Structure 1
Amino acid sequence: MRADAFLAAADRLPVASLDDLAGPGGLVVVAPHPDDESLGCGGLIAAARAAGRRVHLIVVSDGCGSHTQSRLYPPEALRALREAETLRAAAILGLRPEDITFLRLPDAHVPSAGPSAEAAAESVAQAASRCGAGAVFVTWRHDPHCDHRAAALIVALARPRMPGVRVYEYPVWGWTLPPETEVGPEPAGLRLDVSAQRGTKARAVAAHESQTTNLIADDPQGFRLEPAMIDRLCGPYERFVAVPA
């Protein structure tokens, strides 16, 4: 199926309750970079926490690839900044610092196989066990970013260690794919109505100031989220593509 048709179909997935989506247990959200959790799953996280569910966030990469030419924020300082932003965003969504694991794998070089990937998969499985997860959420395997694809493969490695746990993928950058890209069969899955959480989600996204403002002003080539991209991801629904067992 072409990417444009797939994503249009994802926009038409049935709307379900949190119980229908995730079952009765906790949730694990796997974000390739600091900010993906807010962009792709901010409404889900906020809704789950408001319902009293346990949520554990795993941030896979160190985020140091967004501003590689900055002298004010060399890698160590940039990593610290992006983790601090994630803590602020997560607090807005209802998470505590102890609900977050930073794996600190290299941005733009997250492995999808080998010892580091296996260790990351074990972290996902352990988090699922600790919070009694009914579902794990990770970026879409066809997102046009190597770390997003690697995160999906890490969760695939973890899945045999999480029997009975549902797995969903959430598109973040999928809408930037060339429309004719082949991405496999028509999506199955569900949408979650997050209209009640839109304000909270928008504040969480805005907490990632290094990605949404000119906070880091000394790297003209540095990454910045476009307002249209934020608007696209902060609508009334979040989309979750089911991954068959």
Structure 2
Amino acid sequence: MKGPLGDAGITLVIAPHPDDEVLGCGGTIARLTNAGQQVHVAIATRGRPPRYSEESADRVRQEAVAAHELLGVARTHFLDQPAAELDRVPHADLNAAFGRLFDEVRPDTIFLPFLGDIHLDHQLIFRSAMVAARPRTWTYPRRLYAYETLSETNWAAPHIEPSFVPNVFIDISETLERKLAAFACYGSQCCAFPNERSPEALRALAMLRGATVHRHAAEAFLLIREMI
């Protein structure tokens, strides 16, 4: 694999909720694992009663495991923070959870949800992961990217919240079908088109991002920091 991804080292993809990792990075994950590189996924939250039933939380976790197996993920980390209630978690506690995760995985490359996403969980996770990724020692993540999530990144208020303006495009022409197959594992999350969380919408976005850089399909990212 050529370019920065060829030197990705250990990659950690952080998903606020199960399926965000596939929506934002599924093709990139498959491309990395195809090249024999190690990819970890951290699912930050779990639905809890009474907002979510235990049955639905268990089901989506099983769906995540199936999707990650298809993509070749080395390990899935479930942090079990409360879904849709992260604003009730002390910020220091969430920071500490990501600190422990980073100490365990020691990632070289990180993919994060975008700060400007409309879902508050995404915003809080971005901030806490950035705290954990601070370059305070000799070992820290060398490369950080923010990914886009359909129905989250594009639903925020334009020009009021930060806008997602990608400056990195990863060619997923050869892994788009695996991304779509991984998303199909999330039967509880897949919706019928024209809902944005549908296979057709995912394909359309990949084709649009690909055409931006004259490729058949791509995923788009915002480079946050890179140490060379």
TM range (shorter): 0.7 to 0.9
What does 1:80-91 align with in structure 2 at a 5 Å threshold? 80-91=58-69
Counterpart in 1 of 2:112? Answer: 138
Counterpart in 2 of 1:238? Answer: 219
Aligned pairs, how many? 209
Higher mean displacement: 153-162 or 53-62: 153-162
* 1:183 maps onto 2:182 in alignment: no
Q: Normalising by structure 2, report the TM-score.
A: 0.80
Pair 1:121–1:155, CA change in 2 (3 A): same
Counterpart in 1 of 2:96? Answer: 119
Counterpart in 1 of 2:131? Answer: 157
Give the distance between the partners of 1:188 and 1:226, measured in 2 at CA: 22
Letter in 2 for 1:101: H
Deviation at 1:243, TM superposition (A): 1.2
Unaligned runs of 5+ in 2: 208-216
* Maintained 8 Å contact 1:63/1:82: no
> RMSD of the TM alignment (CA)?
2.9
Q: Normalising by structure 1, report the TM-score.
A: 0.74
- Percent pairwise identity: 27
Give the distance between the partners of 1:88 and 1:120, measured in 2 at CA: 25
Unaligned runs of 5+ in 1: 1-16, 69-73, 215-222
Give the distance between the partners of 1:174 and 1:199, measured in 2 at CA: 23
Pair 1:142–1:22, CA change in 2 (3 A): farther
Which has the higher relative contact order, 1 or 2, with Cα contacts under 8 A spaced 6 or more apart? 1
Give the distance between the partners of 2:204 and 2:78, measured in 1 at CA: 27
Deviation at 1:125, TM superposition (A): 1.2
Letter in 2 for 1:149: Q
Higher mean displacement: 77-86 or 187-196: 187-196
* Maintained 8 Å contact 1:33/1:60: yes
Counterpart in 1 of 2:187? Answer: 209
* 1:225 maps onto 2:197 in alignment: yes
